[in-house]
Amino acid sequence: MPCELILALDVPTREAARPLLQQLQGSVPWVKVGLQMFTAYGPDWVREVADGGYQVFLDLKLHDIPNTVAKAVESLATLPISMLTLHTCGGRDMMAGAKAAQEAHAPHLTLLGVTVLTSMNAATLQATGVPDEPAAQVSRLGRLGADAGLRGFVCSPLEVADLSATLPAGTTLVTPGVRPVGADAGDQSRIMTPANAARAGATHIVVGRPIYAVADPAAAAAAINAELSATAA
């Protein structure tokens, strides 16, 4: 099965997003709703995106005490979402509580444990008190999340091969930090092309500005899909 494309719809307003969603119908199966848009427009925006025929990846990166995160998952379970993120650095008990809430209230929902943000490198990670290289920390957090019951993770494409090889078969691996050849890296530090990310084991790639910030978003999405399909052939 080919790696699937997720549009990171990180634009400032619904008015900017709606034409993009119309243009990309049939070209992109998934849309990521992030903290910016969810904070501005809330659950109604999630429903609007889902009503447009998209699967919704709600990227809120939950991180709090275990009971609070579990209750947040329970509340969000009423929304038409298929994937939801939480920070693995919240610890095993937090992740296990979130997993229990997901199983009880949204069996269809995949919880994704965010490992090390793709904007971080060794220096920024060390500044937080973690002395290891990003790859080692990603591996550690992936194993911790799997032990807590998670079967989906977010990591940079540089670490996806290791997680694919060491975590249970069928684990969902979502990779931001994906840039087509020639695209600007933006605020991402650990990046890879769509084809290489798919070959490394990504099940989904997240792409934002290289699609929504170009003259023809549908053509840009189609080119990435063609690259992913060729990789799977």
CATH H-level, domain 4-232: superfamily: Aldolase class I (3.20.20.70)
Q: What is the pLDDT along the chain (233 residues), one digit of tens a residue?
A: 789 999 999 999 999 999 999 999 989 999 999 999 999 999 999 999 999 999 999 999 999 999 999 999 999 999 999 999 999 999 999 999 999 999 999 999 999 999 999 888 899 999 999 999 999 999 999 999 999 999 999 998 889 999 999 999 999 999 997 877 655 545 544 568 898 899 999 999 999 999 999 999 999 999 999 989 888 76
- What is the number of other CB atoms lying within 10 angstroms of the CB of residue 171? 19
Question: From the candidates 32, 61, 71, 99, which is the catalytic residue?
Answer: 61
Cβ(20)–Cβ(48) below 8 Å: no
- Quick check: is 99 catalytic? no
Q: Where are the domains of the chain?
A: 4-232
Q: Which residues contact 98 (CB under 8 A, 6 or more apart)?
A: 62, 66, 69, 70, 73, 86, 111
List of residues 6+ apart from 195 with CB closer than 8 A? 227, 228, 230, 231
